[in-house]
Amino acid sequence: MDRRLKGGLPRGASVLTIAGLMSLGACTTSLTASKVSNFDSGATGQVYYLPLAQYQINLSRELKSCELAYKDDAQAALAWLNAQILSARAADAAEDTLKALDAIMADPVLKRGDVQPVINAMLGANWQSQVVVTEGPIAPGVARKGKAQSHQRKASDDGLDRIAQRIRQLDPRPEYKLEVDVTAQVVPSFAPDADHAYSLDYALMSDGLKATDYSVETYAGGILKSVNVTIDDQTGPAVLNVIGGVTKLAAAAGGFPLGIAHAGKGVPFQPFSEWREAQADANKICRSDIRWKLYQRAGLQAQAEAGAESALAQQKELDKLNEEHVKAIAALEKAQEALKELDENDPTRAAVKALVTKSKSEAKLAARKVLDSKTRLAGIQQASEKVDTRLAGIRKALTLVHTTTFRPKRSELTLDLPGADQALQAWLQPDPCKGKSGCKPPDLASLALPISAQAAIYAPLLPNEAGKPTEVRGVFYRQPLKSTLLVCKSQACVAGNAITAPPEAVLVSTQVDVPQLGAFAVLALKNGPFQNNTIAASFAESGALTKVTYKSNAAVAKAAEVFESSADALMKFREAKRNQETAKLEASTSELAAKKKLVDAQLALEKAQADLDKFRETKPSSSSD
């Protein structure tokens, strides 16, 4: 193809055929991307990256309560019963023991519908008759003050022993309870994948017989955006509904053993309600500053609720006063109109005039009431705003936020989110059992499990991992895999090929595009002789191919057109060669004729000059005249 027409046809080119023109392999170029594995040696052309998805997960844990408490009131009542029985048995007098047992039996907690059936099922329906027995008649001489008694009630040591032993077997223990609200927020983004960098060497598409229009655009960071795009349909980062999930967490088992009263020392009877409050005050597991913030939040929440109710009631009152004000203004306007229609001498004018005065007074009073109501409402709202601001500050102090970036890979589709252990360290006392005999320290692993969390990618249609295509040249890209991003609390989200977490444990569930899990693909562009083809493609920041256009002409028809044009050109060249000699002869003849005319002109000039000289010589001088 480097040989040019110089004075004639190139050797061997006297006959051109379509097949011969189509077989010119040197006129074929391809759009080629090469993987860049080492930037130390440099890369030729334009470098672009395939994207990878990453997710910033903000996990918030807000402490709601922190206590050592029983599972329910039935368990608490069982422990209370054990403590009171032991206390009653420690009394010095039998009468004091019986009095204490009667007080126990009369406590309202043992008659509650959610407690009585449970206690009876655990201790037996006749447990009360086992601890306090009734004996037969007593003789008058033995009876107190000489009076005969038909029956005698007394505490049964055997019955008390059996009930106490049964309670010890049931072992009602308080539990470390943490009530925590857990929320999760996910922010997706795309970053360049350093392991998948490619260079487009546009110089390889250059050819002396071709005109190349090359245009490649990338996102910030070098992620491929478009190739030869005339209309750029750009797709921005996806904004996932932040779904937040809030769940109340169950507490782990554990706690202190039951306290035992010292023998021989009478302990006053404690009603259940007082005993439980004393237990809560005695068993503090949270740090003192955390407990104080919990008390503050409880008080502020109560104030906020009361403020909201007051604001609602005040708004209703204001609405009612506005209606009365409108009615008062309407009555005043009606009275004024009636007064205008009356003649000065009308006998009813005085009464109507008095009505106008009264209506004015009522309208002013209604307006003042509206103003006062608005002032009260504004004061309530202002106070509520202050409470809300303080409450927000307290809640923030009780909330721990941990931020983690999740970059899923084929080998790492799950990620345990941190922060549970740090939250326990921030909330709990470092040594809650200090100075307490028989105290069992909390099981931190059991407490951390309910407030733990895990992120996972659920991709049931995950393709088999394969390398990039090597047989075809072109622009390499990855079509993202549609997956589900999950954030779950207290347990794994996915097991095997299924979502195993129950709905109440799922904090976040949203559809995402994960390019690093997608399959490789290639956009090929091969330009042969006599071809005019164009490829235009645009990509989302996730790497997804959003638009592709390919145009190509009919190469054989183009080759035929070139062959016809070439044949015409050759015929015209030969005709020009035949006419070349004639043109040269005509040019020579014209040149000789011009030379002859020039010589004739020169001869005529010389003859005229000679005649002039001869005339001057023969002319007579003036003296001779």
| pLDDT of res. 21 | 42
Stated as kind and residue range, the H or E segment containing 586 is: helix 555-618
What average pLDDT does range 29-33 have in this prediction? 72
Backbone phi and psi for residue 252, each to the nearest 5 degrees, phi listed first: -90, 160
Residue 531, pLDDT score? 59
Q: In this structure, what token pair is assigned to residue 83? A: 């403590």
pLDDT of 172 > 70? The answer is: yes
The rounded distance, in Å, linking the Cα atoms of 137 and 146 is: 13
Q: Are 461 and 425 in contact (CB under 8 A)?
A: no
What number is the average pLDDT over the span 69-87? 85
Predicted local distance difference test score (pLDDT) of residue 266: 45
Residue 189 parent element (H or E): strand 175-200
- Taking residues 410-420, what's their average pLDDT? 92
From the DSSP assignment, how many helices (H) and strands (E) are in the chain?
12, 18
Neighbours of 509 (CB within 10 A): 17
What tokens were used for 8? 């004639």
Q: How many CA atoms lie within 13 A of 142 on its CB side?
A: 8
380 sits in which H/E element: helix 349-397
Q: Give the residue-averaged pLDDT of 395-412.
A: 93
> What single string gives the DSSP state of each residue in 229-256?
-SS----------------PPPPPS--P
Write the CA distances from 89 to 75, 97, 153, 459, 499, integer angstroms: 22, 6, 16, 66, 57
Of 24-38, 125-139, 366-380, 570-584, least confident by mean pLDDT is 570-584
Burial of 324 per CB tally in 10 Å (0-12, 13-18, 19+): middle
Question: What pLDDT is stored for residue 229 in this prediction?
Answer: 36
- pLDDT per residue as tens digits for the range 14-23: 344 444 444 4
Asked which of 5-19, 131-145, 332-346 is least confident by mean pLDDT, the reply is 5-19
Write down the pLDDT at residue 16: 41
The whole-number pLDDT of residue 505 equals 94
The CA-atom distances, in angstroms, between 372 and each of 308, 321, 365, 368 are 19, 10, 10, 6
Q: Determine the average pLDDT of the residues in 16-38.
A: 59
Predicted TM-score (pTM) of this structure: 0.62
Q: How confident is the model at residue 242 (pLDDT cuts 50, 70, 90)?
A: very low
164 touches 36 (CB < 8 A): no
Query: Which residues fall within 8 angstroms of residue 140, CB to CB, at 6 or more apart?
Result: 146, 147, 148
Give the phi and the psi of residue 228 in degrees, each rounded to 5. 55, 45
Longest dimension (CA), the chain: 221
130 burial (CB, 10 Å; 0-12 / 13-18 / 19+) is: middle
- What SS3 class is residue 413? coil
Interatomic CA distance for residues 564 and 550, integer angstroms: 28
| Average pLDDT, integer, range 56-64 | 95
Over residues 458-472, mean pLDDT: 69
Q: Residue 519 above 60 pLDDT?
A: yes
Q: Are 417 and 235 in contact (CB under 8 A)?
A: no
List pLDDT tens digits, range 261-295: 333 344 467 888 888 777 766 667 888 899 899 98
- State the angle between helix axes of 272-282 and 73-89 in degrees (0 to 180), rounded to the nearest 10: 100
pLDDT band at 255 (very low <50, low <70, confident <90, very high): very low
User: What does the pLDDT look like over 558-602, one tens digit per residue?
Assistant: 555 544 554 554 456 556 556 666 666 666 676 777 777 777 777
